[in-house]
Amino acid sequence: MRFKLAIAAVMLASLVGCGGGGGGSSGSGSDSASCTPTMANPQACNATMSLVLVDGAGAALAQLSPDRAGTLVATVKNWDGKPVVNTVVSFSTTDQVKLVPASGTATTDANGVARIGLPAGANAGGFSATASASVKGSVLSASTSYAVKFPQLALSALVPEPARLQAGGNASISVSVTSDGQPYTAPLQVSFTSPCVSAGKAAIGSPVTTQNGVARASYSDRGCGVRDVITAAVTLGDTTVTQTGAIDVLPAAPGSLTFVASDTTNIALVGTGGAGRQEFATLRFRLFDTTGNPVSGTAVDFAFADREGAQASTTGGLRFNPASATSSADGTVTTLVTGGTIPTSVRVKATVRGTNPAISTLSNVLVVSTGVPVQSRFSLSTAIGNCEGWDYDQDECSIVTAQLADHFGNPAPDGTAVNFTTEGGNIQASCITGQLLESTTPLGQSTNSRQGPGSGMCSVKLRSANPRPTEPYTAPADVEPGKFSRRGRITVMAYALGEEDFHDDNGNNRCDNCDDLTGPEFLRPGVRTDVPKGHDLPRDIYRDDDESGTYTGGEPCVGPNASGRCNTPGDGKYNGVLRSPLQSGAAPTLYVSDQLVQFFSGREANFEFLSDKFTCPVGGAMTVRFHARDLNGNPMPAGSTIRVSALFGVVSAPVAPAEIKVNNYVLKVGNPTPQPVYEFVVGCPSSGSGRLMVELTTPVSKTTTTATRPINN
């Protein structure tokens, strides 16, 4: 036991002699003195940290406010009180606020001090700030508590300048921010709004930053025209203070009335409406003041332009309702026009009530008609009747256009569908009248048009492709009278739902007593040679591929085709919408149609000269006449260029005309193939023999075919 005590005494004496041994400094501090930890205080040799909150003058601070920020000061020292320098100190706070700098860290200076800015946050209350650092592997920390308090703010009365604002004018809106009756000079953002601003009838600069406690906003009238209550609001911390004030905005006088649109330009006669044919049109006008802003709450009166005063009806019982309307918030007024019993065109006049001179405008023209296409007014055409389509495929060999009109000659309404079918090549399936751009066609459909709204027209592409009619070739000279070779001739048909026509003997715009074929208005022969019984249309139509004028097996048939021979007859009655008396029950479906012949012309020409010998008299002139046909005996492609030249030795003879363009040939079904003769005149030189050359170049493939003949041989 005595031995153990002796050993312990020796070890304790050794530790005291060492004076703490490894107690070196951190940074630039000195550790010349010795430090000895004891069992009672084992941390005696550790560094220390303190944290205080001070104001800008360095005085202790316990409370922050928006206009009084603080600084957190952390001091790090060794055990002997000497500073720990160049050590990173991290700061944090329980308040949701960004420290300055936002990194939340600072480095101790030569005095062992690190500082960071602490502003007031957005919430009032008590909070705690903490600083921490690591010195020689030991983590030091210190905390301090502080409070955040916000001043009680107030807003003064709003001051508009001027208080009474002219229409379209500008005003200044000012408000003062105070605390305890004194201007609150710290910059704050003040927001402004009002009912007219929310409605888009006024504009105000918001938010605005205060200067020396005053916020000024610019107010601009855009058609408010009433007493506008303005609300100002300022937020400090979690408290928002508001104040209201009013500015009187004078209404602007009506300045202009414009016609905006009509939902349709075609109105069906009363009792004739149906799918795609409405018996009314909604007209929309818009009223603006002298500053260009919409005017609301103003009465506008309507009248027909062909009538004096505010008459609500015109020719044939055409009417509108209401006779007057009050403009809405966006300045819009509307009226509804309904069709009468007589086809006509009309405009509606709108006038702002009580204006002197009167402020008025006219609508677009409204057409009142049946809108149902009839057979006698169905027309089909092709842009290039002899396109260069025999030898190769063209995406657009030609454009085929259908034009439709009703009994009164008015264009079929926009949206009328027209179907197409072709014997050769391929054609887009349908188009819609009045549809302008191909880009409006739904994906996967071929419905398009190149004519605009209200035209009653629409167009589709015809593409040259197989099949191409290739029946045995017959030379033009061998074709029997009244017949022709069908090689390269394509029948194209277009059709639409329509109605029968009639001849209006008494001019009452109705088909009277048209229950059977004995009615004189229905019996009168129509324009179609294939309708022998007046206007009574057969229920079937067919594409006349062989151009025989009668149905041949294999030709496409559209209709009920009850017999299988595409010859379902009409019912002997007029079934149109203008029947008098009106027919009960649904009328049978009728098709109106038209057909044409399209040439797919070849690119290589065959020349047939009308003279076997060419003689050019000295000093005179020689006429050259010839046919130019493709390999099928059809016209060369439209737009092909034909030139003739004559050379006598090295001398070129004058030729007139310089060139001839091949015409565009558009044929009806059954029309014979044209056989144009091309004629040139050659001026003859003084003497000698020569050489005649004919040259034809096609417009698309630029294929050139030539033929030569001797002169004076």
* pLDDT in the model for residue 30: 43
One CATH from 1.10.357.10, 3.40.50.150, 2.60.40.10, 2.40.440.10 for 603-711: 2.60.40.10
Sort strands 88-93 and 125-135 into parallel, antiparallel or unpaired: antiparallel
Q: Give the H or E element holding residue 6.
A: helix 2-18
Cβ-based neighbours of 168, under 8 Å, separated by 6 or more: 221, 222, 252, 289, 290, 291, 293
Helix, strand, coil share of the chain (percent; to 5)? 5, 40, 55
Q: What is the mean pLDDT of the segment spanning 269-274?
A: 72
* pLDDT in the model for residue 649: 87
8: pLDDT strictly greater than 50: no
222-266 per-position pLDDT tens digit: 888 889 999 999 998 878 999 999 999 988 888 889 999 988 877
324-373 per-position pLDDT tens digit: 999 998 999 999 998 777 777 788 899 999 888 889 999 888 878 877 89
17: pLDDT strictly greater than 50: no
One CATH from 2.60.260.20, 2.30.330.10, 3.20.20.150, 2.60.40.1080 for 153-249: 2.60.40.1080
- For residue 8, the SS3 value is helix
Q: Which fold has domain 48-148?
A: Immunoglobulin-like (2.60.40)
Mean pLDDT highest for which of 157-171, 521-535, 576-590? 157-171
Distance CA 276, CA 40 (A): 104
Token pair 């002139």: residue: 621
- Which pLDDT band, with edges at 50, 70 and 90, does 20 fall under? very low
561: pLDDT strictly greater than 50: yes
Tell me the Ramachandran region of residue 388: left when phi exceeds 0, alpha when psi lies from -120 to 50, beta otherwise.
Answer: beta
* CB neighbourhood size of 713 (10 A): 10
Q: Do domains 153-249 and 603-711 have the same CATH topology?
A: yes
535: pLDDT strictly greater than 80: no
Indicate whether this model's pTM tops 0.75.
Answer: no
Instruction: Give strand ranges (E) for 296-387.
Output: 299-304, 319-321, 324-326, 332-338, 344-346, 348-352, 360-362, 366-369, 378-382, 386-387
Distance CA 615, CA 370 (A): 66
Domain ranges of the chain: 48-148, 153-249, 255-369, 390-438+452-601, 603-711
Q: For residue 202, count CB atoms less than 10 angstroms from its CB and return exposed for 0-12, middle for 13-18, buried for 19 or more.
A: buried
Cβ-based neighbours of 99, under 8 Å, separated by 6 or more: 72, 91, 93, 116, 117, 118
Tell me the Ramachandran region of residue 198: left when phi exceeds 0, alpha when psi lies from -120 to 50, beta otherwise.
Answer: alpha
526: pLDDT strictly greater than 90: no
139-194 per-position pLDDT tens digit: 999 999 999 988 888 999 999 999 999 888 999 999 999 998 899 988 899 999 99
- Which pLDDT band, with edges at 50, 70 and 90, does 511 fall under? confident
499: pLDDT strictly greater than 60: yes
Could you give the C-alpha distances from 440 to 87, 436, 447, 538, in angstroms and in order?
72, 8, 9, 35
425 φ, ψ (degrees, to nearest 5): 65, -150
Give the CATH class of 255-369: mainly beta
